[in-house]
Amino acid sequence: MADEPFLQEDFRVLTPEAFDFVLNNELKRAVRSQNFLTLVVVDPQSEGRTRQEAAREIAQLVSREVRETDLLSATPEGRLSMVLLDADMQNSMRVIDRLMTRLEHYQFSSPLSIEVGAACCPTHGADADTLRRVAEARTGMPRREPGARSNASNAQ
């Protein structure tokens, strides 16, 4: 699949260009048919590896947990972008919580903290730039520390 112009990895991660193209088309469809769409931004911070490496490892795990129709892309800055189609903010928060629980129980090769932000169309905006700004603001979403739970239980 390395020759595929739309995929960056072999596990459904779109190139940033393909992701933007599909995101803009899905936003038009969502507005036209009055459906919801949620953009999720996952920003990993890791010791001992690049953000791109951490985002790739997270993308592998997340790609197994979301629907086949949901979109994934790693940005050049080392963030993971995800579009949850036909998902309002309430349902998206359930998906995000399930994903974060999965990540918290995964043994990463080095310490990792994750910031997650989300924005919903039409609630927060109807264009990609607005949704990105709102999602990157990470309002109301705490930083998560995968693996911290197991460390905390060991201390008790």
Q: pLDDT class for 145, splitting at 50, 70, 90? A: low
Give the pLDDT confidence score for residue 147 in this predicted structure: 53
Q: 27-68, pLDDT tens digit by residue?
A: 999 999 999 999 999 999 888 788 888 888 888 888 888 888
| Choice between 145 and 151, residue whose per-residue pLDDT is larger | 145
The correct CATH number of 13-155 out of 3.40.50.300, 3.20.20.140, 3.30.70.270, 2.40.30.40 is 3.30.70.270
At residue 155, the pLDDT reads: 36
The DSSP line for 52-116 is HHHHHHHHHHHHHHS-TTSEEEE-TTS-EEEEEET--HHHHHHHHHHHHHHHHTS--SS-EEEEE
The pair of structure tokens assigned to 71 is 């979109």
Q: Which residues pair with 33 in a beta bridge?
A: none
* Mean pLDDT across the chain: 82
Q: What is the pLDDT of residue 47?
A: 80
Contacts 24+ apart (CB under 8 A), 49-56: 49/109, 49/110, 50/78, 51/77, 51/78, 51/79, 52/78, 54/78, 54/108, 54/112, 55/79, 55/80, 56/9, 56/13
C-alpha to C-alpha distance for 111 and 156, rounded to whole angstroms: 20
Query: pLDDT by residue (tens digit) across 61-97?
Result: 888 888 888 999 988 888 999 999 999 999 999 999 9
For the stretch 92-123, pLDDT in tens is 999 999 988 888 888 887 888 888 999 999 99
